[in-house]
């Protein structure tokens, strides 16, 4: 064996690396090892959601010479609607069982026999509760309905290091995910949310679901508030990374002994590319614990010794350098 060699240890779990070697490495004599490079590809938190596409149609209504006429101004939607009268009551038929009819003002609504500006239909048709006004009148109305099409979208968060604590994360969701959530909050340390009506289903990525304490990560929309988290995991700003390994003899760290390979101070601002690469300029070498190496383990922890939650999908690699100490 040469007097020195490098080894790259990849991991799909950025917090805990574990690799079993196909063939045992035997280190004859005295050897030392040091961290050469740490690379982390950290995908930020993400919410995927299915959005029901809402069709909005503008229509002109008019009564001329005692006869009601209506015209849908979107040509592709024109043949899907019927606007007629039953007696003197306005009837609108739409291509969806559930639709919303909205007028520009209460006066325009009353001209056509409706008492409210906003009117909900549940059986593909809507009949005005009162007779329309006498005389010639005109008005504009809008119909909104579910087009039966689902659009898949996603919302990506900034790198999770930028959240100082749980409150920051939830506050960010509340302010920036208004298309998804009608309300977001915490009650008795329990995360709860209410989805917008047009949302069909949402999926929290595994890292975000874990951080929010959710027992599952896929939620269909039943237009109800959900209460799933029992305890919110406390997020802390990560200032330092501590890399531990089973390869070295434990050293004195504060008032304890621990197999600490390297402590890395993080920059104040992390590049939005979410790729962090740390090449160690001044390596510190430590004596290897065993002569025979069958498996290699690394753990990445914070100042308090807690495994760091890097985000939804984290991949990393650690490159170490072995050298013979004569």
> Helices in 79-165 by DSSP H: which ranges?
106-111
At residue 5, the pLDDT reads 92
Tokens of 131: 């007779």
Sheet holding 240-245, edge to edge: 16-26, 292-301, 240-245, 260-265
Lowest-pLDDT range of 94-98, 214-218, 256-260: 214-218
Q: For residues 143 and 81, is the Cβ–Cβ distance under 8 A?
A: yes
At residue 285, the pLDDT reads 94
At residue 153, the pLDDT reads 93
The domains located in the chain, with CATH, are: 4-44+238-324 (2.60.120.1100), 54-149 (no CATH), 165-227 (no CATH)
In tens, the pLDDT along 139-159 reads 999 988 877 778 899 998 876
At residue 18, the pLDDT reads 81
Kindly state the average pLDDT of the residues 61-76. Answer: 82
Q: Which position has the token pair 């300029």?
A: 281
Kindly state the average pLDDT of the residues 253-258. Answer: 88
* Cα–Cα dist 120/60, whole Å: 19
Banded pLDDT at 238 (limits 50, 70, 90): low
**Share of residues in the chain with pLDDT > 90 (%):** 30
Residue 273 pLDDT exceeds 60: no
Kindly state the average pLDDT of the residues 237-266. Answer: 87
At residue 314, the pLDDT reads 65
- 3-state class of 198 per DSSP? coil
Sign of the dihedral through C-alpha 96, 99, 104, 108: positive
At residue 253, the pLDDT reads 87
Tokens of 90: 């306005």
Residue 223 pLDDT exceeds 70: no
At residue 230, the pLDDT reads 46
* Cα–Cα dist 24/20, whole Å: 9
Residue 160 pLDDT exceeds 60: no
What is the DSSP secondary-structure string of 12-44?
SSTTEEEEEEEEEEE--S-EEEEEEEEEEEEEP
What is the DSSP secondary-structure string of 43-96?
EPPEEEEEEEEEEEEEEEEEEETTEEEEEESSHHHHTT-EEEEETTEEEEE-SS
Helices and strands of the chain, counted as H and E runs: 4, 24
At residue 271, the pLDDT reads 46
Of the two residues 79 and 242, the one the predictor is more confident about is: 242
Residue 233 pLDDT exceeds 60: no
Residue 235 pLDDT exceeds 60: no
DSSP state of 288: B
Is this model's pTM higher than 0.85 or not? no
Terminal alpha carbon distance of the chain = 14
At residue 216, the pLDDT reads 77
At residue 286, the pLDDT reads 93
Mean pLDDT of the chain: 82
In tens, the pLDDT along 165-217 reads 677 788 889 999 999 998 888 877 777 888 887 888 899 887 788 777 777 78
* Burial category of 271 from C-beta neighbours within 10 Å (exposed 0-12, middle 13-18, buried 19 and up): exposed
* Cα–Cα dist 74/143, whole Å: 11
Of the two residues 194 and 285, the one the predictor is more confident about is: 285
């Amino acid at each position: 064996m040469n007097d020195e060699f490098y080894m790259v240890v990849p991991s799909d779990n950025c917090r805990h690396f574990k690799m079993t070697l196909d063939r045992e490495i035997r280190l004859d004599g005295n050897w030392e090892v040091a961290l050469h490079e740490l690379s982390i590809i950290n995908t930020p938190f993400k919410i995927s959601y299915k959005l029901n596409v809402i069709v909005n149609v503008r229509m002109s209504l008019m009564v001329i010479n005692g006869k009601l006429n209506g015209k849908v101004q979107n040509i592709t939607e024109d043949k899907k609607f019927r606007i007629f009268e039953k007696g003197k009551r306005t009837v609108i038929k739409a291509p969806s069982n559930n639709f919303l009819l909205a007028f520009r003002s209460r006066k325009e609504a009353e001209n056509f026999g409706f008492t409210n500006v906003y009117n909900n239909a549940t059986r593909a048709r809507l009949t005005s509760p009162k007779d329309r006004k006498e005389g010639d009148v005109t008005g504009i109305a809008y119909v909104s309905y579910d087009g039966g099409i689902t659009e898949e979208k996603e919302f990506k968060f900034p790198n999770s290091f930028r959240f100082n604590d749980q409150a920051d994360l939830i506050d960010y969701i509340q302010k920036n995910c208004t298309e998804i959530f009608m309300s977001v909050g915490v009650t008795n340390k329990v995360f709860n949310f209410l989805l917008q009506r047009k949302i069909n289903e949402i999926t929290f990525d595994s890292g975000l679901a874990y951080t929010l304490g959710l027992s599952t990560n896929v939620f269909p929309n039943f237009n109800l508030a959900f209460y799933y988290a029992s305890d919110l995991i406390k997020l802390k700003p990560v200032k330092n990374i501590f890399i531990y390994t089973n390869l070295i003899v434990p050293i004195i760290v504060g008032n304890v002994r621990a197999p600490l390979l390297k402590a890395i101070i993080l920059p104040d601002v992390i590049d939005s590319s979410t790729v962090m690469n740390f090449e160690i300029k001044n390596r510190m070498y430590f004596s290897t614990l065993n002569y025979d190496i069958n498996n290699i383990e690394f753990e990445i922890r914070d100042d308090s010794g807690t495994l760091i939650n890097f985000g939804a999908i984290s991949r990393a690699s650690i490159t170490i350098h072995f050298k013979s100490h004569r």
